[in-house]
Structure formats: structure tokens, C-alpha cells
Amino acid sequence: MSENLQREKWGSKIGFVLAAAGSAIGLGNIWKFPYVAGQNGGAAFFIIYIFCVILIGLPVIIAEIILGRTAQKNPVGAFKKLSDSKFWPWVGAMGVFAGFIILSFYSVVAGWSVGYVYESATGVFYNFNSAQSAAEHFNHLTKNVTWGIGMLAIFILMTMFFVYAGVQKGIEKGSKIMMPLLFILLIIVMIRGITLEGSDEGLAFIFHPDWSKVTPKTFLEALGQAFFSLSLGMGAMLTYGSYMSRNDNVPKSSLEIVVLDTLVAVIAGVAIFTAVFATGQNAAQGPGLIFHTLPIVFTKMPGGYFVGIIFFILLTIAALTSAISLLEVVTAYFVDEKNWSRHKAVLVFGSLAFLVGIPSVLSFNIIENYKIFGMNFFDVANYLSSNIMLPLGGLLIAIFVGNVWGIDKVLQELKQGSDKLFTNYSWIVSLWVVLIKYVSPILILFVLLQSIGVF
């Protein structure tokens, strides 16, 4: 097993925050959050989501990062290093597997975003005179197998390029410019959404809860979405934490990542639901939601032609910084544990992710009607990874850090780089201990068991 002598490190303190925020902020916020919220009643879902983020997401992200920073290893290696039991490395292995599966279907949607850069540049949005024609155009594109596979290939190649080159320079620098720009553009699109005639209904949908819409499934969806959006439960944050230096402040960085990620989801939610209701669309229509609505918003704003192009470029970049972290987890595992070269790992698993992504492309056309439990291949990959594997991984990580590793050791590690927190706000530390030891694992377990019908 290679030792840590030449292990890569972030170039700067904020390098980690940027890369980790880059991993967290992505299609999960802009594409998935709005459509899942739309399918689960809007505001009530949103409130449950916020509770999941505070009570589970924040404590678990701290746990994952401190695991990585202490072990300086990939998810499997980290558990091997910190425990003697044969069981825990399997938790890391499940994470690596989940990361690979997510990469495969995530890249399909990211491919749509790549395709929409071209669509917006050709001015095709201006031919849409109703939301229905925007939806028809999207459906027409996703029915085209060559388009889907071609865009998937382009996106995976871009991801492979960065991971192949070693992430730090390109991504650290790139994220610094692109992430703020994406933020500003989203705010612009949100303002246009709010000022559209008939947008109030959209605002009510996202901010006035209708509790009658809440079912047991809503809790699982919200929990899964929190894990997915924060890149948690599969070792992405652990792996990024492993490139950190010991004097970086873990709790503070974690809070920054969580706040940024949630803010982007809220802004995207407002931007999209105001547009959905103003254009008379169905909020619960599923994965095509942003591709049906945003083109209409762009055509209704001054400079919308350019805003549309830049928006899809930035969405692609946001997806790219997330996909990089997914491929990085798999790569780090093969480099650390199997002594592969980074290049070989990227070539092999990038290509495999492409192949496994193909059935997800075909789920929108040829194999659309092949369903298991009412879900096609894409839905199954999406559901199993986000709603089952990530929460399960998060549960086990919380149990390990809170109850197995030894809380004294954990706190000693955590204190490095966050002295002030420990001296001035020791109650926050105690609160975290209670959350990670009891509250987060019990809540996750409860939601998982309830979702399989135990309660």
C-alpha cells in the first residue's frame, strides 16, 4: 500500500472549502431539489429538508471530514486505518460503489446541460410560445439516443480530464471564479422569476406548507436529498478531507459548505417554482422540470439569450465540480489501496461510468417502459443511491465516529484548527457530540426503517 509521502494537498485553506462546496453544489441543488420538492408538496418538503440538514447533514459532514483528515486516506483505507474490525472498511467500499453509480446517472443529466448550452446558443428557446413547446423540445431531445449518449460522453470526458490531471490546480482556481458567478446568475434568474406575472402561487408553493401532502415517503426523500446535495454518506467529503492540512478548521468549513449549499437550493427553488406557476406548468413533473421551465424564463428577460447560454455553461461547471469529486473517490481508492496509477484508475472507471450511464440514457427512450417497482433504470439508480445507500452510509459513519472510534480521540482531532470553538463555545461541541452519537443515527435509522414499512 502506498504511504502518504507524496499525497496531494489543497493549495490553500480556502481551497478545501471551494472544492468541497464545488462537490456539494451541483445538479442536486438546481436540478434535483426543485423537482423532488415539486413531487413532494413544496414547502412542507422544504421544512423537513431543512431539519434534515441541521440535525443530520451538518453533524455528519463534520464527522466525514474529520475521518478523512485524520486518516489521510480514501474511504476504505480510512476505516482500515482507524479500526481493527473487518466490517468498517466495507462501509467505505459501499461508498465507493455508490459514488460510481451516482456518477453514471449524474453524468446523463449533466450531459443534458451540456446539450442545452448549444440549444440556447442556437436561439431555439425563442421558438417556444408556451411551456408545452419547451417540454416537447426537451422530450424530443431525450428521446434521441445518439444525443443522449453523445452528451454523456462529452461530459464524462470533461470529468476524466480534470481528475486525470490532478484536481487541485484546475478546480481550486476554477471554482473560485465560477461558483460566485453561478450564484449571481441564479439570483438574476430568481428575480426575473419573482417578477413574472402569476409568480405568487410559486412563492406560496415553496413557502406555505401544506402538511396534508406529507407522507412517510416525504421524510425519506428529504433525507436522501440532504445527503445527495451535501455529497454525504459515500466518502466524497472524507476523501476531500484527506487532502486537508491538520490546522484547517473543520467545523467552520463544514458550516460554510452547508450554508452555501442550502442557499443555492433555496434560490434555485424560488427561481424555478415562480416560473413553473407563472407559466402554468405542473410542479410534480419530475426530472425534466428545469429544462421545461427555465428556457421560457430566459426568453422573457432582457439579455435572456446570453443569460441562458451562460446559465447552462455554469450549470455544467457546477455539475463538473461535483462529478469530479465522485470520480475522485473511486480513483483515490484504487490509487491508495490497489496501487494503481491515477491515470489508469481514471481511464478505467471513467469508461465504465460511461457504459453504466448508457442504460440511464435509454431510460428516456428505448427502455422507458421497462420498470422495476414502477421505476425505470435511471429512477432505480437515482433512488437506490440517494435514498438508500447514502443515508445508510451516513448512519454507519455517524455510528463509527460517535460510538466506535472513541469520542475522546475524535474531539482531540477536531480541536486541531478549531481551538477557539473549543474554548469559547464548548456547548456547540457538546451539542455536536449529542447529535452525532444519538440524534443523527436514530433519526436516519427511523426514516430508513419507516420507508421499508417497519412502522
Name residues whose C-beta falls within 8 Å of residue 367's C-beta, 6 or more positions apart in sequence. 359, 376, 377
Q: Does 28 bind ligand PFF (CB under 6 A)?
A: yes
* CB-nearer residue toward ligand PFF: 102 or 414: 102
Report whether 120 contacts 309 (CB < 8 A): yes
Q: How many CA atoms lie within 13 A of 439 on its CB side?
A: 17
Number of residues that bind ligand PFF (CB under 6 A): 16
Q: Segment near ligand PFF (CB under 6 A), from 126-134, 145-153, 195-203, 227-235?
A: 227-235
Q: Which residues of 404-433 are buried (b: 16+ CB within 10 A; e: fewer)?
A: bbeeeebeebbebbbeebeeeeeeeeeebb
231 binds ligand PFF (CB under 6 A): yes
Q: Which is nearer to ligand PFF, 267 or 296 (CB)?
A: 267
Ranges within 164-223 binding ligand PFF (CB under 6 A): none
DSSP readout, 313-369?
Answer: HHHHHHHHHHHHHHHHHHHHHHHHHH---HHHHHHHHHHHHHHHHHHHHHTTTTTTT
H/E stretch holding 234 reads none
Report residue 55: phi and psi, to 5°.
-85, -20
> Smallest gap, in angstroms, from Cβ of residue 226 to ligand PFF?
10
Q: Rounded to whole angstroms, what are the CA distances from 42 to 218, 283, 374?
A: 10, 9, 23
Rg (CA), the chain: 21
- Per CB under 6 A, 56 contacts ligand PFF: no
Please, what is the minimum distance in Å from the beta carbon of residue 60 to ligand PFF?
13
Binding to ligand PFF by residue 321, rule CB under 6 A?
no
Q: Which stretch binds ligand PFF (CB under 6 A): 19-27, 42-50, 179-187, 285-293?
A: 19-27
Using CB under 6 A as the binding rule, whether residue 52 contacts ligand PFF is answered as no
**Interacting positions 98-117 with ligand PFF (CB under 6 A):** 99, 102
Pick from 225, 240, 214: which is nearest to 57 by CA? Answer: 225
* Interface pick for ligand PFF out of 236, 272, 289, 327 (rule CB under 6 A): 236
Q: Among 24-32, 309-317, 344-352, 425-433, which window interacts with ligand PFF (CB under 6 A)?
A: 24-32
Residue from the set 254, 325, 382, 440 that interacts with ligand PFF by CB under 6 A: 325
Nearer to ligand PFF, 42 or 99 (CB): 99
- Any contact of residue 397 with ligand PFF (CB under 6 A)? no
List of residues contacting ligand PFF (CB under 6 A) = 23-24, 26-29, 99, 102, 228-229, 231, 234, 236, 322, 325-326
